[in-house]
Amino acid sequence: MLLEPGQSLLVPRGWIHNPLVPKDGGKDSVHLTFAIRERTPFWLAEQLLGSAIEDPELRRVIRPGDLLGPGLPDHLDQVRQRLVDHLSGVDVAALAEQVSRCALTDLEYTT
């Protein structure tokens, strides 16, 4: 896509792009990138899952062999159930206050 003077292009986060200024254009060009703190349902899910850090069962080390062997589906099922149990007990009102603060101050983009 070739932009004319005065035009701009919005490229959503996650889209690979490579701006190029044609050498024969004879005009200067500016390419600015702005990172907007987008919040998505996946980001909220990360906040919910982050609250599970206090659950000692979810912090237990899994032996490397258990990640490759036939027991992996059982481990996944146990962790899934532990997460369901944890999420069922989350005080959503209290977590909402924490998430609101995080939405305003968190500078990292993980999703």
For the chain, the average pLDDT equals 84
* Residue 35 placed within a domain: no
Does residue 58 fall inside a structural domain? yes
The number of helix segments (H) and strand segments (E) in the chain equals: 4, 0
Tokens standing for residue 29: 């060009």
As for how many domains the chain has, the answer is: 1
- The answer to whether residue 64 sits within a structural domain is yes
pLDDT (tens digit per residue) in 46-83 = 999 988 988 898 998 988 888 888 889 999 999 999 99
Which range marks the domain in which residue 57 is found?
41-105
User: Does any domain span residue 97?
Assistant: yes
In a domain, 71, yes or no: yes
Average confidence (pLDDT) over 9-18: 79
Burial of 99 (0-12, 13-18, 19+ CB in 10 A): buried
Does residue 47 lie in a domain region?
A: yes
Residue 3 inside a domain? The answer is: no
Asked if the structure places residue 80 within a domain, the reply is: yes
Task: Record the pTM.
Answer: 0.58
Quick one: pLDDT at residue 109? 58
